[in-house]
């Protein structure tokens, strides 16, 4: 906090006695793809979770869930927490959260199919239940959705006011043969989430630029 | 509409322009008088109100200046009056302290002097005169020695007796001198005592004299202020500006201290009021809470100094009776100490929170940092706690420059306002004058534009006048002839 902010706060204190009604809390729902060969990328997902734990502030929420053959279920949520408003308690919660994630990621089992849409619907539900000012769903996946024959996901979904960030979207071997498949896949997802009312669509492949994931409300 | 539509002869631009110019000139010549009137009226219309406004502002500036002067002199009178009062109090204290011991001192001096006088008298006593037989000895000494044995024996006997008596007289004489030397030696402590007492008297009188000089200077200043001289006003204004500048610098330093204080307690305050609430989009409630604590500390400091009668910002506190004032002093002091203690605890908590956060971040990162334990690592913690405890007390002294700033701001603001009003008055006056002159210039320019018809008019008027004159001359000649 700089000197200007100090003066600003002095003026704000003098000018108003009421608090800002908008919520400044961040809520992040992270989907981790554990299907097929992508399960090997779990270590990178751990890096992102650690980054989020280090960056999220007291009062923010975080949930980490698996993407499996059918992901529209609370059972796939590995860990979730709304950090306490007190920094010391929030730090303790973050430690417990990290331990839980560490333990869960040690025994990652690959799934036959990838239900990203189900995960998104579940994530949107989780985020809309809270009162966070900024809601973000991070999809740690190659964005290749594969559904079994009985699972139905081809209907319009609602992601209103939710930011969707696709992280570590690796190229498949078929993408190398024809890059249009990769680009087409990303474009398809962009159109779909924007049609669903998402406030932002972002792809972050370089894990050195994770700061783009979070945006303060 | 084509660009050549205004041309009367599209093939001949010069002829068209000339004709149009002639037409315009004719029209302008016809409209000369009303146009002149219009321009003159415009000049008056715009310049007049500006001039009036300028006069009003000048009068307002004089009034503000007079009011400033009255306030300044009243303030200066009160201030110098207080100083004189304090000087008199000091003088009274000096007189009470030093001059009340004067009867004793005087008695001491008189005793010393009496003793010295007595001793001096004792010193003045001469040794006893030689006995009468000295004359007999002188007569015998004149007796001529003829070698007579009897005479020689008598003379020797006399010599021996005289020598004995001489030795005895010398001894007595020396003894007498020794006694007198002893008396003189006994003088020394009295002399020293008298010298010391006189030096003390001199010192006291010098102190008194300097205080009296200071009172004289203040009185001269007070008289000047009372007389309302320009010199006094100037001196007071300069003094107010100096005070204002100094108070401003001190306040800026205090603001720096408050900022450090704020940094110390803003983070740990989130542990009390939570870190998730915001007052504005970027301002947390915890930061505002920290600010409130700092303001409360500053207020307590203000009340403390007010109750100690160092500052006089609140007349209500100044007019409290002694018991209530003392109670207030102790309440303010207790609250200040409590808040300082809270701040020290918060500073410690800040350090712990930062350490906890660092530990968490290190545990989340892949590379683990080596922990630095020992007394060196505890220095910042101790420093923060100490700062947290000291800064509230240091901030409490803001009251002094604040009072100075408030008092001098009235004078400085008044002077600046006067200068601003005067500048505005000048600008309005200059603008009004410029507009009037501009209307005159426009009238001249108008005449320049229709110089040809004006020239023609002058020629026609000239020929008419000469014709009339000629006619008049002819009439006179005819009359003369008729007369003749």
Read off the pLDDT of residues B70-89 as tens digits, 9 standing for 90 and up: 888 888 888 888 888 888 88
- Residue with the larger pLDDT of the pair B185 and B374: B185
Total residue count of chain B as it appears in this document = 484
Residue numbers of the domain that contains B148: 101-227
- Same domain (yes/no): B268, B393: yes
Contact A9 B271 (CB under 8 A): no
| Minimum mean pLDDT range among A127-131, B22-26, B200-204 | B200-204
- Same domain (yes/no): B310, B182: no
- pLDDT category at B332 given cuts 50, 70, 90 is very high
Chain B residues within an 8 Å CB radius of A8? 280, 282-283
DSSP state of B95: I
**Span B357-376, average pLDDT:** 73
Please, what is the average pLDDT of chain B?
Answer: 84
| Minimum mean pLDDT range among A47-51, B29-33, B377-381, B394-398 | B377-381
Of A10, A20, A51, which has the smallest distance from its Cβ to B280's Cβ?
A20
- Same domain (yes/no): B236, B212: no
- pLDDT category at A192 given cuts 50, 70, 90 is very high
Chain B residues within an 8 Å CB radius of A59? 274-276
Residues of chain A with a CB closer than 8 angstroms to some CB in chain B? 1, 3, 5-6, 8-10, 12-13, 16, 19-20, 22, 24-25, 50-51, 53-54, 57-60, 85-88, 90-91, 94-95, 98
- Same domain (yes/no): B172, B116: yes
Contact B275 A94 (CB under 8 A): no
- pLDDT category at A10 given cuts 50, 70, 90 is low
| Greatest mean pLDDT among A22-26, B78-82, B231-235, B306-310 | B306-310
Measured between alpha carbons, how far is A206 from B10 in angstroms, rounded to an integer? 74
Chain segment B111-128, per-residue pLDDT in tens: 877 877 777 777 765 655
Domain annotation covers residue B331: yes
The secondary structure element, H or E, covering residue B39 is helix B32-94
Chain segment A122-174, per-residue pLDDT in tens: 999 999 998 888 999 999 988 888 888 888 888 888 999 999 999 988 888 88
pLDDT at B369: 58
Pair of tokens at residue A60: 């923010």
pLDDT at A126: 92
pLDDT at A13: 53
Interface of B with A in 25-84 (CB under 8 A): none
Total residue count of chain A as it appears in this document = 217
**Span B132-148, average pLDDT:** 69
B2: left (phi over 0), alpha (psi -120 to 50) or beta: beta
pLDDT at B54: 93
Measured between alpha carbons, how far is B332 from B362 in angstroms, rounded to an integer? 44
CATH number 3.40.50.410 is the correct assignment for the domain at A26-212: yes
- Same domain (yes/no): B138, B248: no
pLDDT at A208: 82
**Span B55-63, average pLDDT:** 92
Residue B86 CB neighbour total at 10 angstroms: 12
Q: Which of A4, A20, A21 to mutate to test the interface with B (most CBs of B within 10 A)?
A: A20
**Span B230-234, average pLDDT:** 82
> What chain B residue is nearest to A11 in terms of C-alpha separation?
B288
pLDDT at B235: 85
Residue whose C-alpha is closest to residue B215's, from B88, B306, B62, B302? B88
- pLDDT category at B371 given cuts 50, 70, 90 is low
Q: Are A168 and A44 in contact (CB under 8 A)?
A: yes
- pLDDT category at B58 given cuts 50, 70, 90 is very high
Pair of tokens at residue B20: 């149009």
B260 touches chain A (CB under 8 A): no
Contact A12 B278 (CB under 8 A): no
Pair of tokens at residue B244: 């204002």
Distances (CA, A) of A130 to A27, A123, A125: 8, 11, 9
Domain annotation covers residue B167: yes
Q: Which residues have CB under 8 Å from B91's CB, separation 6+? A: B208, B211, B212, B215
Residue B108 CB neighbour total at 10 angstroms: 14
pLDDT at B284: 83
Measured between alpha carbons, how far is B438 from B432 in angstroms, rounded to an integer? 10
Q: Are A65 and A29 in contact (CB under 8 A)?
A: yes
**Span A51-62, average pLDDT:** 91
- Same domain (yes/no): B146, B271: no
Domain annotation covers residue B114: yes
Domain annotation covers residue B467: no
Q: Which residues have CB under 8 Å from A123's CB, separation 6+? A: A29, A31, A63, A65, A137, A162
Measured between alpha carbons, how far is B75 from B215 in angstroms, rounded to an integer? 19
Interface of B with A in 280-299 (CB under 8 A): 280-283, 285, 287-288, 291-292
pLDDT at B281: 73
pLDDT at B70: 87
Domain annotation covers residue B393: yes
Chain A residues within an 8 Å CB radius of B274? 58-59, 85-86
Residue B361 CB neighbour total at 10 angstroms: 16
Q: Measure CA of the first residue to CA of the last residue in chain A; give whole Å.
A: 17
Residue whose C-alpha is closest to residue A68's, from A154, A151, A138? A151
The domain spans of chain A are 26-212
Pair of tokens at residue A127: 């985020």
Question: What are the strands of the beta sheet with A134-140, ordered from one edge?
Answer: A77-82, A61-67, A26-33, A134-140, A162-167, A200-204
pLDDT of B377 above 90: no
pLDDT of B156 above 90: no
pLDDT at B126: 61
**Span A167-186, average pLDDT:** 88
pLDDT at B34: 92
Domain annotation covers residue B382: yes
Identify the sign of the CA torsion B191, B196, B202, B204: negative
pLDDT at B127: 56
**Span B338-365, average pLDDT:** 88
Q: How far is A106 from chain B (nearest CA, A)?
A: 16
- Same domain (yes/no): B250, B387: yes
pLDDT at B115: 78
The ipTM estimated for the assembled molecules is 0.76
Chain segment A38-54, per-residue pLDDT in tens: 777 888 888 899 999 99
CB pairs under 8 A between A and B: 90
- Same domain (yes/no): B199, B340: no
The pTM score is 0.64
Point out the domain boundary residue: B175, B206, B227.
Answer: B227
pLDDT at B118: 79
Burial class (CB in 10 A: 0-12, 13-18, 19+), A59: buried
Q: How far is A78 from chain B (nearest CA, A)?
A: 18
pLDDT of B327 above 80: yes
Measured between alpha carbons, how far is B427 from B429 in angstroms, rounded to an integer? 5
Chain segment B400-421, per-residue pLDDT in tens: 999 999 988 988 998 999 999 9
User: Structural domain tally of chain B?
Assistant: 2
**Span B310-317, average pLDDT:** 87
| Minimum mean pLDDT range among A70-79, A105-114, B253-262 | A105-114
- Same domain (yes/no): B215, B346: no
pLDDT at B482: 65
Q: Are A64 and A80 in contact (CB under 8 A)?
A: yes
Measured between alpha carbons, how far is A63 from A138 in angstroms, rounded to an integer? 10
Domain annotation covers residue B59: no
Measured between alpha carbons, how far is B194 from B216 in angstroms, rounded to an integer? 32
Point out the domain boundary residue: B227, B254, B289.
Answer: B227
State what percent of residues in chain B have pLDDT above 90: 27
Domain annotation covers residue B235: yes
Residue B317 CB neighbour total at 10 angstroms: 19
- Same domain (yes/no): B245, B286: yes
- Same domain (yes/no): B236, B385: yes
Measured between alpha carbons, how far is B178 from B171 in angstroms, rounded to an integer? 10
pLDDT of A8 above 70: no
State what percent of residues in chain B have pLDDT above 70: 91
Burial class (CB in 10 A: 0-12, 13-18, 19+), B289: buried
């Amino acid at each position: 906090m700089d000197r200007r902010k100090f003066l600003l706060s002095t003026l704000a204190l003098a000018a108003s006695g009421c608090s800002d009604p908008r919520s400044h809390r961040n809520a992040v729902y992270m989907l981790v793809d554990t299907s097929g060969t992508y399960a090997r990328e779990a270590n990178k997902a751990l890096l992102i979770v650690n980054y989020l734990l280090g960056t999220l502030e007291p009062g923010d929420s975080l949930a980490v869930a698996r993407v499996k053959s059918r992901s529209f279920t609370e059972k796939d949520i590995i860990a979730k927490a709304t950090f306490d408003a007190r920094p010391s308690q929030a730090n303790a919660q973050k430690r417990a959260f990290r331990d839980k994630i560490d333990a869960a990621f040690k025994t990652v089992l690959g799934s036959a199919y990838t239900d990203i849409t189900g995960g998104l619907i579940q994530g949107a539900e989780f985020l809309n239940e809270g009162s966070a000012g900024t809601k973000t769903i991070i999809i740690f996946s190659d964005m290749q959705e594969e559904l079994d024959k009985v699972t139905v996901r081809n209907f319009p979904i609602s992601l209103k006011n939710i930011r969707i960030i696709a992280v570590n979207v690796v190229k498949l071997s078929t993408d190398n043969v024809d890059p249009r498949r990769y680009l087409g896949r990303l474009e398809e997802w962009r159109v779909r989430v924007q049609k669903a009312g998402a406030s932002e669509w972002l792809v972050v492949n370089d894990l050195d630029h994770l700061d783009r994931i979070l945006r303060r409300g | 509409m084509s660009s050549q539509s205004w041309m009367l002869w599209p093939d001949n631009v010069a002829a068209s322009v000339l004709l149009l110019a002639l037409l315009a000139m004719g029209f302008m010549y016809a409209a000369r008088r009303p146009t002149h009137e219009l321009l003159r009226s415009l000049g008056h219309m715009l310049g007049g109100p500006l001039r009036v406004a300028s006069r009003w502002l000048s009068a307002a500036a004089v009034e503000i200046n007079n009011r400033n002067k009255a306030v300044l002199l009243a303030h200066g009178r009160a201030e110098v009056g207080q100083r004189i009062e304090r000087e008199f109090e000091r003088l009274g204290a000096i007189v009470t302290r030093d001059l009340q011991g004067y009867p004793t001192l005087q008695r001491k001096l008189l005793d010393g002097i009496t003793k010295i006088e007595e001793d001096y008298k004792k010193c003045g006593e001469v040794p006893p005169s030689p006995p009468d037989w000295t004359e007999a000895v002188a007569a015998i000494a004149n007796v001529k020695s003829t070698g007579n044995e009897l005479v020689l024996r008598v003379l020797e006997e006399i010599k021996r007796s005289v020598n004995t008596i001489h030795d005895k007289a010398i001894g007595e004489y020396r003894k007498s001198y020794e006694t007198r030397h002893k008396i003189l030696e006994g003088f020394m402590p009295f002399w020293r005592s008298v010298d010391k007492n006189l030096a003390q008297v001199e010192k006291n009188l010098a102190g008194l004299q300097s205080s009296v000089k200071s009172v004289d200077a203040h009185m001269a200043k007070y008289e000047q202020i009372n007389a309302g001289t320009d010199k006094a006003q100037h001196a007071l204004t300069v003094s107010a500006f100096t005070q204002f500048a100094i108070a401003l610098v001190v306040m800026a330093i205090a603001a720096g201290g408050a900022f450090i204080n704020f940094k110390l307690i803003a983070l740990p305050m989130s542990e009390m009021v939570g870190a998730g609430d915001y007052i504005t989009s970027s301002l947390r409630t915890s930061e505002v809470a920290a600010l409130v604590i700092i303001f409360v500390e500053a207020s307590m400091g203000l009340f403390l100094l007010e109750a100690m009668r160092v500052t006089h910002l609140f007349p209500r506190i100044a007019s409290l009776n002694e018991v209530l004032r003392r109670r207030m002093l102790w309440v303010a002091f207790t609250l200040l100490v409590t808040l300082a203690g809270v701040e020290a605890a918060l500073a410690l908590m800040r350090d712990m929170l930062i350490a906890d956060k660092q530990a968490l971040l290190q545990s989340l990162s892949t590379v683990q940092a080596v922990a630095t334990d020992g007394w060196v690592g505890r220095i910042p913690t101790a420093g923060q706690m100490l700062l947290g405890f000291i800064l509230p007390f240091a901030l409490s002294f803001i009251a002094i420059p604040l009072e100075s700033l408030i008092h001098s701001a009235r004078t400085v603001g008044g002077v600046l306002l006067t200068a601003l009003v005067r500048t505005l008055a000048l600008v309005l006056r200059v603008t009004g004058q410029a507009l009037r002159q501009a209307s005159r210039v426009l009238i001249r320019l108008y005449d320049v534009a229709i110089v040809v018809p004006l020239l023609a008019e002058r020629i026609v008027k000239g020929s008419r006048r000469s014709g009339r004159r000629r006619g008049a001359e002819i009439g006179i000649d005819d009359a003369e002839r008729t007369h003749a």
